[in-house]
Structure 1
Amino acid sequence: RELPASHADPGLELGSGLCRQSFALKDEEGIFGLGEQYGEFNHRGRTLVMDQDDAYQSKTGNTYIPIPFLLSSRGYGLLLNTYQRAIFDLGQKQPDRLRFANPSNRLDYFLFFAPGPKKIIEQYTSITGRSPLVPRWSLEPWISRQTIAGWRYAEAAQKEVELMLKEQFPLGVVLYENLLAGPREGPSLGLDPETKARMPEIINQWHELGIKVVGWASAGQIAPSTASLEYYGLDQHPEFLVRNPDGSLYLGGIDKNMAYLDITNPEAMDYAWRKIYLPLFSAEPDGKASFRNINLDGIKLDFCEFFPPDETPVLVKNPSPGLRLYHPTFFSEWIYQKLDAQRPGGGITWSRGAGLGAQRTGFVWTGDRGRTFSQLKHTHLARMNAAISGIALVGTDLGGYSAGGILSEQVYNRAAAIDCFSPAFHDHGRSMPPWEQSESGKKIYRFYGRLRYNLIPYIYSLVWEAHLLGLPIMRPMFFECPEDQNCWRIEDQYFLGEKMLAAPVLENTRSRKVYLPKGDWLDFWTREPVHGPKWIDRKVPLDIMPVFVRAGAIIPVQFNSSFELGGGFSQKDKDRLTPGFLVFAENNFQSSGTWNVFDPRETQKVEAALKISRQGGKIMVQDLSPAPSAVLVYGPEPEQVYHAGRPLLKSNCHELTPGRESRWCYRSRDSAAVIYLSQK
């Protein structure tokens, strides 16, 4: 929570029950991070409390994910190693002092010093953990509707998924909340009779269409009804649940009517996996779903923020301060590891809340947001602060969970562009879904959904980076250009990896200024060159978000049969797109690289590589894998293209299709040499 100056926490001032420390703040020093903070980018002058809230449409310091880690523009990181309700006064009470405190008789904290924010994040995540290598399919477009938006009944959900495919909206994952439960009930109970009767049929049908299926549950919570406890055998094991001092079940959750698993009891967690959760992620011997083995690919973990605060006495196996924040963090990581190992193609979690170490689970998301420009802006700030806090896999409910006003569709259009260039492309809620947009809105969503598939190899290479190095996927400007003081002040732009720069449109406008740091850049859409550092003006019609690529960059992608960006393909072909590369360069160049773009669950070889150059009118491809692959080289038409020293046959672009012999063509409409290589 954020404490206003008029309501400063007396504990921090007086030190009652707190252990405190303070540092000097320099005049221009900025303080960033501290979890999924919606209110500001630079927290200088604020007081933030590391506590969870149901941060519905928050624009302040209320958050689902408080992380006691900050990064200073002076070049250091600070981690307070606690799950307790720590307090950070970032120059509010005394403008020249950074003060922090923990409700304990000791402080355990780390200071990180390194040449640049990226190295600091590497150090910090080497201690707190890094993102798992989530399955590649989890980057595909998701669709979901809340039960009260019509998906309480199986027929409605099936018809609307069919409508998605009929409208040729790309689709990889369906998150169906009501497959497992009503909104306030435990796993496998509370289904409407029709949905319960058709559950295996629905899952099998979607799997046959190449769609992964994700269910829903409250994080570590069990419905305490007699029927529920008997169903799972927990009536015989009350010690596996959190209890009040008198031995009765502690009831919490959003409606104060849910029991909690005791995560501090290893025997309880082993029992919960076998009796409650394993059947959700298991299949029959023929790979199908049944009532006994539900065959889900993942689970959404909701209502993570309602575990009792430390001052509420409860009975658990191994009591420890900070269980309120540790409970959802542990549970999310625990179930992710279990289900990912159980599922042949990997599994995924989609969690709303956690504390320190939140990055060790699958995805987190920014919670229930409204579909307005104001909410879109604060959602973006939360993503940036979460990234600074070491959380790489941050998603949203695309455009907002709750209905907005008259500009709702414009917000949705802008959000589709942002989420295309982000860790997750996930639509859920009770606002207008893609099939209810205007024809122009449908076209925009369809294009960015298809472009999302083009970009999955590049984004998955960043998932690998997050897994190996701890680096976020969406990066504040100063991560890549810490020496540029402008980049510490710009909050409405970000890097996607180190090669792409995006400038999201977060208000109702048709133009915006974009800052390009030092170096040569190419407009992703027009390939217009820009030399930085420089502020430029850009027109931003509803279907365009400014995106720039470093000159000389190679972006690993995948293509449809026409080698297009944002081009169409069938549902059955989404898993058979052609690997390839985009090469952004002016005139003569030489570029090469190797990227981890494949999922080791699916293939032994995870790398893609390209070495390419241009001299005068000649393009030379020296090395390329995997084969077959395609390369788009933007720029003037070459005289000849060579592969391994041999000239390739030039053809008409309509004759250039996957599966044929190696050839090249020049496509005037996007000024690209299209090179298809059928073998290495």
Structure 2
Amino acid sequence: MDKKAEVTYNPQLGYLKTVFTHNFDFLTEIREYRQEESALELTVGTYRKKTAKVRVDFLTGEAFRFRMYPFEDTAVYENAVFPLEGKTGYELQVTEDCLTASTGRMTLRFGKRPWELSVFLDGKLLTRENVCDANVDNMCKYLPIGFDCDEQGRVIRVRETMYLPSDESFYGFGEKFTGFDKRGQVIHCRQCDALSTNTEKSYKNIPYFMSSRGYSILLNTYTDNVFDMGVGSGVSYGMESADRMLDYMLFCNRDYKGLLSDYTALTGRSPMIPKWAFGLWMSRCSYQTQEEVEAVARRLREEQIPADVIHIDGWQKMSEAGVWQWDLERFPDPRGMIKTLSEQHFHLSLWMWPYIAVGTEGYEYARAHGYLVMNDKGEVSTFHSAATSDAWFAAFDFTNPEMVAWYRGLVQAVVKEGVGVIKTDFSEAVPLDAVYHDGSNGLQGHNKLPLLYAKTIYEACRDVKQEQGERPMLWGRSGYAGTQNYPGNWAGDSSTAENNLACILRGGLSMGLSAVPFWGHDIGGFYNTDSDGYECPPTEEQYIRSAQFGLLSPLSRCHGKTPREPWYFSQQAQEIFRAYDRLRYRLIPYLYSIAWEAHSTGVPMLRALLLEYPDDCTARCVGMEYMLGSSLLVAPVFDQDDFRVYLPEGNWASLLTGGFTEGGRWVRPGKQLENIPVYLRENSALPIQGKDLLFTEEKPFEDLCVLMNLSTAAEEIFFDDGQEYRFRAELKGGTVTVETGLPMTSAVLYTQQPVVRAVVNGEEYTVEERSATVKLLNKNCAVPAE
């Protein structure tokens, strides 16, 4: 068809021009194709009259891997996080205009000229490339899929450009503290010591995102990469990496939970972590002596503050930190201390980093054995570990198998003493001129090192813990795609400010939408700087608001530069902290159940509302509250003047007061220092402890109380160490009927209907009505504490 049109402005030339002057190239037309059983290879012409190779591997019926190579160069360094190959067959149809490959539900359409990839699910378009984002002068202003080259014509960067519908939203990208919907943002995926939790910089950048249109993408490379989600152009979004080939995976599923499940089915789901990990962790930066650690443990028990973990940052001499050796001057009897803590039902957590001070004995040993990251001059790469550090450090090279084998022995020797968990700190400071043992340069290996650091320590701990009949875990600051395989994580160095809590929550929601389920943050904030630059403790309100949010997060740890134990604050703050800590311990059976669900399905514990309400357009934009599992909605209080909470459709019961609020709207619950809104979803149930506990035991739960909000019926599945318990409750005609295998001895029913009779597994229960709740008790059961 003749595309020539009569114009009086900017005469048409018959070929595409661009506004760019650098050495670029992009795909233009398919020249040849070759079909394999589960892959399709295409030879594609480019704008510069060269050729490129495109390979599409069909991973499942709803997922594919896309790779684009510069055809003239076969020696391309592949830096894939997940080197997956095709396993699913497909049908190929070829017409004059396009090639169409279909697995059944998923269809890929490749335009021959111009080149253009479109992705369909069940016959409906999900997404497509944008191959001509032009300006009024008919010049391309946002380059299509292709390459950038240096002056010698060598490929130095690759990119993909997608069409951006007017209503598309994006979520994920790891622990990003910016706006919840990432449309209109530029996302940099390069691990860094962010030094705070309220900027685009973050410790856990993950090049994976989900679209509101029903697909998700993983840019499958360790190499530094950038996503422009509608900033450079309002009608395109783009992703690029400093690689010589493009590698990404695309998943098709219109359900957000389904996307996470599909993604983690291929890239790994989090191993389960210990029960005690869901208790309170107590820490500061740092306990300095064995005597101090033991004193804190004693006081926690004396003050009746439930807790399970004590953490020590400074257990090594700082000059020797990194080689896994106790400072025996300050901690003269580590094994005795661990035994004392264990007798009080505490687990010990220890800090570690992947660096070693230059000039130390450990440094000289590692340098002599080739265990350190080098630079492009063939010397050990040295750097300052933090922005204010004057000392020089080197990094262990976790791409070196010999180093890893040696390092695992160091880890295991300490963990065998009875240490429960390792905190993996730092790892983001290695310079750009680095050269790694596996051949990666500074761009290719920077994001790889933090992941391999966590992997090495996790697997070393796993081997020891398996022998001891226990589960391993980490408390990790940095991570990357695949970090869900080495749980868990915390949000890094946060300030105590209340508005910073909102940034932390958005980071946590984004982590969950990036398939990382076990996550927490520093209760009390890690730092607080006054106007003169001095460190100061959090205010009472900052501490309380942080504790309320933190104790209703997947993992809960107090930590900061100044003391974070509640007895350093007012009596009111202590009472509120203790109340929420006890609430957390009551909720541990529920928390553990949704953790097991996360381990089994990839769906996180901390859930953006859109995961539970995918068809609610308002829920798509809500990033200041969250679902804790499927049953609880939590709305932390920050510094809002006009505090509003969005409740999706349904009747929501206040977990704390028993009152009901109709959903499908924004509500003003009021601000009280002692409480934050916690709602129980209509027609849902959750198991809690029947009594207050001071610590968590590694044994099956018993004597449970089940909380229910019923208008008609609820059906749930609860988990306890792989044991599956089905639960069904129905409210009809004044009778509540419950059928379950849970070890349940009582129940609390939030209801707006009169209840006169209760039957649980065929047994008649006493009905005791109190305000908006009904308590169901058998004759041997005490009433659960308010």
TM over 0.5: yes
Which of residues 415, 424, 439 is equivalent to 2:555? Answer: 424
- What is the 5 A alignment of 1:464-503? 464-503=596-635
The structural deviation recorded for 1:191 is: 2.2
1:205 counterpart (340, 343, 360): 340
1:358 is aligned to 2:483: yes
Please state how far the C-alpha of 1:616 moved relative to its aligned partner: 3.6
Instruction: Assess, with a 3 A threshold, how the Cα gap between structure 1 residues 415 and 578 changes in structure 2: closer, same or farther.
Output: farther
The answer as to whether partners of 2:373 and 2:435 remain within 8 angstroms in 1 is yes
Distance 1:573 1:377 in 2: 33
Aligned to 2:517, what secondary structure does the other structure show? Answer: coil
Which one of the candidate residues 752, 759, 763 is aligned to 1:642?
759
Q: Deviations over 1:394-424 (max 9, x none)?
A: 2101131013669722122122222222211
Structure 1 residue 613: deviation in Å?
3.3
Residue pair 1:397, 1:427 contacting (<8 A) in 2 also: yes
Identity of aligned residues (%): 25
Counterpart code for 1:675:
L
| Counterpart code for 1:582 | V
1:295–1:264 CA distance, 2 compared to 1 (3 A): same
Residue in structure 2 matched with residue 607 of structure 1 by the alignment: 724
Distance 1:373 1:302 in 2: 24
8 Å contact kept, 2:625–2:633 = yes
Q: 1 CA distance for matches of 2:295 and 2:302?
A: 10
Residues 1:633 and 2:633 aligned together: no
CA–CA separation in structure 1 for the residues paired with 2:582 and 2:358: 44
Q: Pick the structure with more strand per residue.
A: 2
Q: 1:299 maps to which residue?
A: 422
Alpha-carbon shift at residue 142 of structure 1 (Å): 0.3
Three-state SS of the structure 2 residue aligned to 1:539 is: coil
Shift of 1:48: 1.9
Q: Which residue does the alignment assign to 1:308? A: 431
The residue that corresponds to 2:412 in the other structure is 278
Whether 1:97 and 2:236 are equivalent positions in the alignment is: yes
CA 1:183/1:142 → structure 2, altered by over 3 Å: closer, same or farther? farther
Deviation at 1:571, TM superposition (A): 5.4
1:327–1:488 CA distance, 2 compared to 1 (3 A): same
Say whether the 8 Å CA contact 1:36–1:65 is kept in structure 2.
yes
Specify the SS of the correspondent of 1:505: coil
* Cα distance, 1:676 vs structure 2: 4.8
1:108 is displaced (CA, Å) by 0.9
> Is 1:159 aligned with 2:275?
no
8 A contact 1:181–1:216 mirrored in 2: no
Q: 1:325 deviation in Å?
A: 0.7
Q: In structure 1, what is the equivalent of residue 33 of structure 2? A: none
d(CA) in 2 for partners of 1:645, 1:440: 45
- 1:620 matches 2:737: yes
SS of structure 1 residue aligned to 2:160: strand
**1:225: how far off?**
4.4
Q: 2:284 touches 2:563 (CA, 8 Å); kept in 1?
A: no
Q: 1:498 to 1:163 in 2, by over 3 A?
A: same
Which residue of structure 1 lines up, in the alignment, with residue 115 of structure 2?
none
Shift of 1:75: 2.6
- 2:454 corresponds to which residue? 332
Deviation at 1:584, TM superposition (A): 2.3
Q: Report what 1:15 is aligned to.
A: 148
Pairs within 5 Å for 1:109-188: 109-147=248-286, 151-182=287-318, 185-188=321-324
* 1:26-48 deviations in Å (ceiling 9; x for gaps): 22322222121112222222222
Q: Distance in 1 between matches of 2:628 and 2:436?
A: 45
What residue is the counterpart of 2:37 in the other structure?
none
Q: Residues 512-531 of structure 1, C-alpha deviation per residue, up to 9 Å, x if partnerless?
A: 21111123322222232333
Shift in Å, 1:224: 5.0
Looking at structure 1, the residues matched to 414 and 699 of structure 2 have their Cα atoms a distance apart, in angstroms, of 25
Give 1:63 shift. 0.8
Note closer, same or farther for the CA distance 1:540–1:341 as it changes in structure 2 (3 Å cut). farther
> Residue 707 of structure 2 aligns to a residue in which SS?
strand
Instruction: State the alpha-carbon separation in 1 of the partners of residues 529 and 685 from structure 2.
Output: 39
Q: 550-559 or 38-47: which moved more?
A: 38-47
Secondary structure (helix, strand or coil) at the match of 1:15 reads strand
CA–CA distance in structure 1, aligned partners of residues 263 and 327 of structure 2: 43
Give 3-state SS (helix, strand or coil) of 2:310's partner.
Answer: strand
CA apart distance, 1:579: 4.0
Letter aligned with residue 29 of structure 1? E
Instruction: Answer yes or no: is the 8 Å Cα contact 1:140–1:171 preserved in 2.
Output: yes
Which has the larger Rg?
2
What is the match of residue 76 of structure 2? none
- Residue identity matched to 1:553: S
The 1-side partners of 2:319 and 2:612 are apart by 42
Structure 1 counterpart SS, 2:727: strand
AA of the residue aligned to 2:741: L
Cα distance change, pair 47–64 in 1 and its aligned pair in 2 (3 A): same
Secondary structure of the corresponding residue to residue 272 of structure 1: helix
Mapped partners of 1:575, 1:38: distance in 2: 37
Over 3 Å counting, the alpha-carbon distance change for 1:385 and 1:647 in structure 2 is closer
The residue correspondences of 1:362-401 to structure 2 (distance < 5 A) are: 362-401=487-526
Q: Aligned AA for 2:181?
A: N
Any idea what SS the aligned residue of 2:594 has? helix
C-alpha distance in 1 between matches for 2:750 and 2:204: 42
Contact 1:552 1:583 in 2 (8 A): no
The 3-state SS of whatever aligns with 1:400 is coil
Distance 1:501 1:247, change over 3 A: same
Residue 217 of structure 1 deviates from its aligned partner by 0.6
- Deviations 1:431-484 (Å, cap 9, x if unpaired)? 442111111100111011111111111112221222121111111121221221
Q: Is the 8 A contact 2:275 2:697 kept in 1?
A: no
CA shift digits 1:280-301 (9 cap, x unpaired)? 111xxxxxxxxxxx32011001
Correspondence 1:260 to 2:382: no
Q: Secondary structure at the match of 2:178?
A: coil
CA contact (8 A) 2:179 2:506 kept: yes
Cα distance in 1 between the residues matched to 2:631 and 2:293: 39
Contact 1:592 1:611 in 2 (8 A): yes
RMSD of the alignment, in Å?
Answer: 2.9
Q: Could you tell me which residue of structure 2 aligns to residue 290 of structure 1?
A: none
Task: Output the amino acid matched with 1:673.
Answer: K
Match of 1:402 among 502, 527, 532: 527
Structure 1 residues 183 and 610: CA distance shift in structure 2, 3 A: farther
Tell me the matched-pair count: 618
- What is the distance in 2 between the residues matched to 1:573 and 1:339? 20
Against the structure 1 CA distance between its residues 489 and 645, is the aligned structure 2 distance closer, same or farther, given a 3 Å change threshold? closer
Q: How far apart, in 2, do the equivalents of 1:27 and 1:573 lie?
A: 52
**Larger relative contact order (Cα-Cα within 8 Å, sequence gap ≥ 6):** 1
Q: How many angstroms apart in 1 are the aligned matches of 2:697 and 2:190?
A: 46
Shift of 1:505: 1.1
Measure, in 1, the Cα distance between the counterparts of 2:208 and 2:761.
50
2:367 maps to 1:243: no
Q: Please state how far the C-alpha of 1:62 moved relative to its aligned partner.
A: 0.8
**Bigger proportion of residues as helix:** 1
Tell me the distance in 2 between the aligned counterparts of 1:190 and 1:644. Answer: 55
Quote the Cα distance in structure 2 between the aligned partners of 1:432 and 1:637: 49
Give distance in 2, aligned partners of 1:362 and 1:118: 20
Q: Distance in 2 between matches of 1:580 and 1:68?
A: 41
Contact (CA 8 Å) 1:215, 1:298: kept in 2 or not? yes
2:620 is paired with a residue of what secondary structure? helix
1:307 and 1:157 mapped to 2: Cα distance?
A: 33
Aligned to 1:563: none
Structure 1 residues 677 and 453, CA gap change in structure 2 (3 angstroms) = farther
Q: For structure 2, list consecutive stretches of 5 or more residues without a partner in the other structure.
A: 1-21, 25-141, 150-155, 531-536, 782-786
1:314-362 superposed Cα distances (whole Å, 9 cap, x missing partner): 2514547621111111221232233134223222201111121121111
Q: Secondary structure of 1:68's match?
A: strand
Contact kept in structure 2, 1:578 and 1:630, CA below 8 Å: no
**Take 1:345 and 1:676, find their aligned partners in 2: how far apart are those partners?**
36
CA contact (8 A) 1:54 1:63 kept: yes
Distance 1:208 1:260 in 2: 37
